[in-house]
Amino acid sequence: MTDTRPYAEPRPAPGAPDVVVIVLDDLGFAQLGCYGSDMVTPHLNRLAAEGLRFNRFHVTAMCSPTRAALLTGRNHHAVGMGFLVDLPIAHPGYTARLPRSAAPLPRLLRDAGHSTLAVGKWHLTPRWERTASGPFDRWPLGYGFERFYGFLQGDTNHYAPNLVSDNHYTEPPAGPEDGYHLSEDLADRAIRMILDQRQATPDKPYFLYLPLGATHAPHHVPRTWSDAYRGRFDQGWERWREETFARQRELGVVPGDTTLTARPPWIQDWRGLDGDERRVFARMQEVFAGFLTHTDAQIGRLLDFLRRTGRLDDTLVLVLSDNGASAEGGALGTLNEHRFTARSGDSAARNLAALDDWGGPATYPHYAWGWAWAGNTPLRLWKRYTWLGGTRAPLIAHWPRRIRDVGAIRTGFTHVVDLMPTILDACGVPAPDEVDGVPQQPVDGRSLLPLIDDADAQRPFPTQYFEMLGSRSIVHGDWKATTDHVSRGVADEERLLPGSRDFTADRWSLFRLPDDFAEAHDVADRHPDVVRKLAELWDAEALRNDVLPLDDRMQERLGAMIPPAWPPKARARYLPGGSPVHDEALPLLFAGFTLTADAEVPEGGPAAGVLCALGDLNGGFVLYAHEGRLAFSCSRAGDLDRVVAFRPLPAGRHGMGVRFDAPGPEQRSAHGSFTLFVDGVDVAAVPLGGAFPYAFQHGGAGLRVGHDRGLAVDTAAYRPPYPWRGTLHEVVIDTGAAGAAGAARRTVEDEVRDALHSD
């Protein structure tokens, strides 16, 4: 009993810096001013001018995999994140669960005595675990962060987001009518967290992880920001790309001998567009540019705060994008990204009609893929592909205490797996061999500090594989080999992109990277032995990292999905007073349901208020009383169906609701119908104008009982919160046998489309 040692708190290494990692979403290689764009990003430009830019930095081509690689320092398949957390598969490389053998960066820094803060987009929690009931071990706090504020899904509405604070859901501090915007809120929260930390423990270093929702769709920004770009993109994407390429060469961001590839035939020729088409497409880019400049301004507020604290010189700031620019808007772009999931399709006429609202709360927009192609100048393709347009991203490093040749460009091959060992190295924290008794996997990345210190540091091209949705490539020495596999999920790509849809028929292209920055010159026919060697090397790396099996057999992939531990029941009961119910906790509705509210209509006034609401005008439904009458409105990605009872609701307690009868041979409509009922008697019905969606929103508002919040589902009928004027006892959703039948009809195409538009 006398041989005891006092407990000692872990202490950070002497001189350990603060660390800020900012992840921009779906930002292309060419979209920052310091990488050649004419879009206004003064704060990030200043960061680059006072730090370093990397022009051969690589990511995984999609969101969740890049974030997993960043936080673990391991290849994404090796830590179970071969695809999105929204589609966990029962194969080791695709479980969407970081293994305990790869303890993430925040856990290691916290154990070493650092504060760990996360603000923004998470997208590392498997879909079934994102409800208010958890489990929480794969939420940010479960992975080692001490504080979190942001959202768990792949995207959210920037005017009315679905927010989490630490381990619970919370409402935004203001509404869209108050001028709320998520990026501003995230900057406020990041500043507040740092301020609280510094005032309580001023000598304790912190790690702030700030993965913003921007510039992922929806491209939401107040109109003053987008109007500042009026007319700036009227020349079109091809001319803008040429001008950007010239600026890139002048800046030295791309080598002077880089070849700018020609416009592929599946990108529309701007000269062949009519006036309305040009106006619509130009406005899409104006809104995106305003969105980016607005985002830069919020980053600037954070950086200005750090300057005021006097700590910025001793802060390692890293800014990157998670993948290349996104083409998920398709050839035409879309005013509502949820139309992609709903298979509703888009039209130039529809986009033109919504042009004045583009970027505002009434839209959920994404630009046309011509701008994604231009945004990745001079690279080929985009997000989701392992061509350089999907995997080469901006990286800015800023650390005045350490960096001497400010404004320089580092040209060595680097990868997102290098960031975790870089941060540990900077903080003097060794990567442990064991955490909680679990031996740790080898770290795949290498510290960038030697390259940060010295541009001539020896860093030969490594062997690095890439795989995403069947698109495959590998870098080895001076060579890069890339397949022509075309991914599934985006209809315009499936229809228009040349390439293979069969793994056995995939062709490998070959590029010599020191001479070919942009994969412009395929030399596979001249070096068949090199192609064969690299293809074999890719197979070996795939085996080592749990990439296999590659599987394009969609229905078989659905059969391998990891099911929820607590699947939603066919009949669910909801009471007022709780938090919004996450959509993953709801029964499957698209095959038919009955929604019943047990509520009282008070004496002396017409019935009014929301009984329950899911989502908003961009996608969702609401059961409510309108002008004294029971009503139900459903927004199918912006297409509204509304049914209203013929007679007012009488005072008293009633069982009232709506029944969705899915399409069948006995139905009046090919898409089914909505029927209102009161006390067991049908009181009104309407056929659907289109198919009931598999999912309304990915990242949208949950189910609220007794009121609404944020954006209304039917803006012509009510304004949130519009609480039920009376007593609401409960709301019951019952899918019965229809729900089981619907689950059986679920397809991976539905799942993939729902996941892709959110990533």
Torsion angle in degrees (nearest 10) through CA of 513, 70, 701, 672: 50
Looking at the annotation, which residues are catalytic?
63, 123
- Average pLDDT of the chain? 93
Among 487, 493, 484, smallest CA distance to 522 is for 484
Residue 506 pLDDT: 96
Residue 420 pLDDT: 99
At 275, give phi and psi (nearest 5°).
-60, -40
Lowest mean pLDDT of 42-51, 93-102, 235-244, 748-757, name the range.
748-757
Residue 165, helix vs strand vs coil = strand
Q: How confident is the model at residue 196 (pLDDT cuts 50, 70, 90)?
A: very high
Residue 658 host element (H or E): strand 652-661
**Sign of the C-alpha dihedral computed for residues 243, 248, 251 and 252 taken in this order:** negative
Tell me how far apart the alpha carbons of residues 658 and 637 are, in angstroms, rounded to a whole number.
20
Say if pTM beats, i.e. exceeds, 0.75: yes
Tell me how far apart the alpha carbons of residues 576 and 704 are, in angstroms, rounded to a whole number.
8
Residue 556 host element (H or E): helix 554-559
Just give the CATH number of 571-756: 2.60.120.200
- Beta sheet of 479-483, edge-to-edge order: 463-468, 471-476, 479-483, 508-512
Tokens of 382: 């985009």
Average pLDDT over residues 544-559: 74
User: What single letter denotes the amino acid at residue 502?
Assistant: D
CATH 3.40.720.10 segments of the chain: 18-222+238-466
- Write the Ramachandran bin of 566: left for phi over 0, alpha for psi from -120 to 50, otherwise beta: beta
CATH 3.30.1120.10 segments of the chain: 467-559
- Beta sheet of 728-734, edge-to-edge order: 571-574, 728-734, 593-601, 652-661, 673-678, 681-687
Eight-state DSSP code of residue 481 = E
Tokens of 556: 């078989």
Contact 367, 267 (CB under 8 A): no
The fold of the 18-222+238-466 domain, in CATH, is Alkaline Phosphatase, subunit A (3.40.720)
Alpha helical stretches, state H, 170-311: 182-200, 223-227, 237-251, 275-309
Residue 552 pLDDT: 56
Q: Angle, nearest 10°, between helix axes 237-251 and 275-309?
A: 30
Maximal C-alpha separation, the chain:
88
Q: How confident is the model at residue 750 (pLDDT cuts 50, 70, 90)?
A: low
Residue 5 pLDDT: 74
Among 244, 236, 253, smallest CA distance to 54 is for 253
Quickly tell me which residue has 């009014």 as its tokens.
Answer: 608
What are 69-128's pLDDT values in tens digits? 999 999 999 999 999 999 899 999 999 999 999 999 999 999 999 999 999 999 999 988
Tell me how far apart the alpha carbons of residues 66 and 62 are, in angstroms, rounded to a whole number.
6
CATH 2.60.120.200 segments of the chain: 571-756
Residue 702's CB is within 10 A of a number of other CB atoms, namely 22
Residue 644's CB is within 10 A of a number of other CB atoms, namely 18
Torsion angle in degrees (nearest 10) through CA of 57, 58, 64, 70: -50
Residue 749 pLDDT: 53
pLDDT reading at 44 higher than 60: yes
Contact 311, 192 (CB under 8 A): no
Contact 286, 229 (CB under 8 A): yes
User: Which residues, listed in sequence order, are joined to residue 149 by a DSSP beta bridge?
Assistant: 119, 165
Contact 140, 122 (CB under 8 A): yes
Residue 329 pLDDT: 93
Q: How confident is the model at residue 758 (pLDDT cuts 50, 70, 90)?
A: low
Just give the CATH number of 467-559: 3.30.1120.10
What are 634-656's pLDDT values in tens digits? 999 889 999 999 999 999 999 99
What are 471-518's pLDDT values in tens digits? 999 999 999 999 999 987 778 888 899 999 999 999 999 999 999 999
Strand ranges (DSSP E) for 662-697?
Answer: 673-678, 681-687
Quickly tell me which residue has 């041989």 as its tokens.
Answer: 3
Among 50, 51, 69, smallest CA distance to 59 is for 69
Contacts of 227 (CB under 8 A, 6+ apart): 286, 290
Percent of the chain with pLDDT over 70: 93
Residue 338 pLDDT: 84
Percent of the chain with pLDDT over 90: 83
Average pLDDT over residues 619-641: 95
Number of helical H runs and strand E runs in the chain: 18, 29
What are 165-184's pLDDT values in tens digits? 999 999 999 999 999 999 99
Residue 538 Cα to chain centre, angstroms: 28
At 610, give phi and psi (nearest 5°).
-90, 130
